Structure 1
Amino acid sequence: MDIRPMQPEDVPLAERLSDDAFHEAATLSRRACDPPAQRRTASRSANWITRTEGFLTTDPEGCLVAYDSEGLAGFATSARREDALWFLCTFAVRPGIQGIGIGKRLLHAAMAYGSDCPRWMLSASDDPKALRRYRLAGFDLHPQLVLHGDVDRSSLVAAPRVRDGAAADHDLLDEVDRAIRGAAHGLDHQMLSAMGTLVVDTGRKGYAYAGGSGPALLAALDEETATRLLWECLARTEGTATVAHVTGANQWAVDVGLAAGLRIGTEGFLGVRGMAPPSPYLHNGALL
């Protein structure tokens, strides 16, 4: 088994492997009431590759691959921000060879990149093998809720003190991030801006990226501001809305979702080390 730094030519192979691995995990953990597990669309695959190429540029030391005699066996991509926060972006092992130690070696190699960071985060699926590995690595695992459905438009609440953001607001975003999760997103805002429209609180207390189906990320200094921002995100949705990554520390988001007519489900876990689950905060699955 050869573990080495990821190269640009590895990225398309990693995308295909991750789609295989996550599709298998979603199929195995699927409940009778859940829709069938779906493969990535071509556009989502292209976005995955673009995002991973970005991590390969900003954090090459945190991006690793493992090869065996049959080809790519697994990979891990991770990043660190302001020497204060390390986060795992994506981590997968080829189906059929999971549970034999490849994932452990990859994860520990990626974690070494953030060994001097005081705070660590990751967003996990429901895959029991991965969850076991994260817990053994010292992460506290917090179940997540997901709010899903068609927004009751009659319930929408006006969001005063919320406006469209701009590049000039990045100092505000960084201030909020440092207060909530201990480190700014910095260059990650370039990738986040492709996921949704930036909206900010005029009182400089929060921001969100409003995507077509819901917030790609939301951060605020208090629940009142977070609530306004989430209502604005829901007002901008098209079709079915999804508010994901809602930990138990963010009950305010549950209240908004219920008021908007969304259904409550469970999906995945937030893993943290050296910190509590951020709140008020709805993290991004890859950029935390």
Structure 2
Amino acid sequence: MIIRQLRDTAEDAEAVNRVSRAAFRDLDGRPADAEPEAADAPSRIRRLARSRHLAVTDPQGCWIAEQDGEAVGAALSLRREGVWVLALFVVLPSVQGRGVGRLLLERAAAYGRGCLRGMLCASSSPAAARRYRAAGFTLHPTMRLTGRVDRERLLDPGDIPVHTGNASHLHLLDSVDRRLRGAAHGPDHPFMLAHFEELLIADTLAGTGYCYRDGGAVQLVAATSKRIATRLLREALARVPEGVDADVEFLTAEQEWAVDVGLELGLSLTTRGYLAVRGMRPPAPYVPNGGYL
């Protein structure tokens, strides 16, 4: 077994993607031939690009496990202004229970030494939950909103204007991040701007906030007040294309404002995974992105 740093190459990015798909497919109980990769081309491109992005920005936090020349596990982590984030942690089902996951997590966690705060979005895997709790993380069960938006329930947006954002708003985005989670996203914002369909901005005298949307998925919401966060989420859901299911994930109990918006607009609520934090409370009002938190 070899544990080595992830390289910024197409081969390493593809290896991480292959292991990730196999691990999560097994967790979901889907057959091996379910959900062909070709049907998920935009997400696949973004996953590959994310691996290479983190291999460049955080090489000491990204590790891959190989056995007989084949990838069997990966751990990708990043460090932003005193916050350590575990962006991905996967091990092939065929090698689980052999210490591969422990070794990968130890390498990734070492990159976070000195960080007072930590965050990650976890699946519902009991083994992963046990490992994260043993590492000192507090596990907050999360909810997921999915379904078609009932457009007849979309109300007048009121007096908070929302407009499309761009790279000129990076200082605003980092300012909101620092207030909510104690650290900016830094180089991750240019990446998200390039790979998500739309950035929405609300900037008023009463506060500020932003939201990334990609197709039907609300990728990240951060705001200085629940009122602004609610307005941004409603606007994002209003922009979901007709005939496309909306998806809002990793909502903790602190994000009841988001739950209320989703239920009001006809979405269905289920439970899914955890938001795990260490040295901090879950940011609020905030909807995290599993790959960047």
| Band the TM-score falls in, shorter-chain normalisation | over 0.9
1:144-183 aligned at under 5 Å gives the runs 144-159=142-157, 160-183=160-183
2:239 corresponds in structure 1 to 236
1:39 positional shift: 5.5
Q: Deviations over 1:157-206 (max 9, x none)?
A: 23332111121111111110001011111111122222231111121511
User: Where does residue 120 of structure 2 map in the other structure?
Assistant: 122
Provide the C-alpha distance between the structure 2 equivalents of 1:49 and 1:166, rounded to a whole number of angstroms. Answer: 23
TM-score, reference length from structure 2: 0.91
Post-superposition offset of 1:74: 1.1
SS at 1:172 equivalent: helix
What's the TM-score once normalised by structure 1's chain length? 0.93
**Separation (CA, whole Å) in 2 of partners of 1:79 and 1:20:** 23
Partner of 1:33: none
**Partners of 1:53 and 1:241 in 2: how far apart?**
28
Q: How far off its partner does 1:146 sit?
A: 0.6
Deviation at 1:211, TM superposition (A): 2.3
Partner of 1:202: 203
The Cα offsets for residues 34-63 of structure 1, whole Å up to 9 and x where unpaired, read as xx9745423322221111100011111111
| Alpha-carbon distance in 1 for matches of 2:215, 2:12 | 31
For the pair 1:281 / 2:291, whether they are aligned, the reply is no
Q: Tell me how far apart the structure 1 counterparts of residues 44 and 174 of structure 2 sit (CA, whole Å).
A: 29
Paired position in structure 1 for 2:71: 72
Pair 1:217-2:226 in alignment? no
**How much does 1:6 deviate?**
1.2
In 2: Cα distance, 1:195 partner to 1:144 partner: 23
Where 1:108 maps in the other structure, the secondary structure is: helix
Identity in percent: 44
SS of the residue corresponding to residue 205 of structure 1 reads: strand
Q: Structure 1: how far apart are the matches of 2:71 and 2:162?
A: 46
Q: Which residue of 1 aligns with 2:272?
A: 267
Q: Mind listing any 5+ residue stretches in structure 2 that lack a counterpart?
A: none
Contact (CA 8 Å) 1:23, 1:38: kept in 2 or not?
no
Q: Is the 8 A contact 1:74 1:102 kept in 2?
A: yes
Q: What is the DSSP-based 3-state SS (H/G/I as helix, E as strand, rest coil) of the residue aligned with 2:95?
A: coil
Structure 2 letter corresponding to 1:273: R
Q: Cα RMSD (Å) of the superposition?
A: 1.7
Q: Distance in 2 between matches of 1:234 and 1:248?
A: 20
- Quote the residue 2:29 is aligned against: 27
**What is the alpha-carbon distance in structure 2 between the residues aligned to residue 260 and residue 55 of structure 1?**
36
Are the counterparts in 1 of residues 13 and 49 from structure 2 also a CA contact under 8 Å?
no
Distance 1:38 1:271 in 2: 28
Q: Distance in 2 between matches of 1:6 and 1:266?
A: 33
Task: Give the superposition deviation at 1:268.
Answer: 1.4
- Paired amino acid for 2:208: K
> SS of the residue aligned with 1:141?
strand
CA contact (8 A) 1:164 1:197 kept: yes
- Map Cα deviations across residues 233-260 of structure 1 (whole Å, 9 max, x no partner): 0110012111111111100001101111
- Secondary structure of 1:285's counterpart equals coil
1:138 equivalent in structure 2: 136
Residue type at the aligned position of 1:12:
E
Q: Find the counterpart in structure 1 of residue 43 from structure 2.
A: 44
Three-state SS of the structure 2 residue aligned to 1:250 is helix
What 5-or-longer segments of structure 1 have no aligned partner? Answer: 31-35
Say if 2:218 and 2:246, in contact at 8 Å, map to a contact too. no
* 1:70 positional shift: 5.8
Say whether the 8 Å CA contact 2:212–2:219 is kept in structure 1.
Answer: yes
Corresponding residue SS for 2:186: coil
Contact 1:75 1:106 in 2 (8 A): yes
Residue 95 in 1 paired to residue 93 in 2? yes
Could you tell which deviates more after superposition, 196-205 or 222-231?
196-205
Distance 1:43 1:188 in 2: 18
User: 1:222-281 deviations in whole A, cap 9, x for unaligned?
Assistant: 101110011110110012111111111100001101111111111111111111111100
Q: Give the AA of the match of 1:104.
A: R
What SS is found at the alignment partner of 1:202?
Answer: strand
Aligned-partner residue type, residue 261 of structure 1? G
Contact preservation (8 Å) 1:147, 1:254 = yes
How far 1:17 moved relative to its partner? 1.0
SS in 1 for 2:93: coil
Quote the Cα distance in structure 2 between the aligned partners of 1:285 and 1:64. 18
Letter in 1 for 2:184: A
Partner in structure 1 of residue 257 of structure 2? 252
Aligned with 2:246: secondary structure? strand
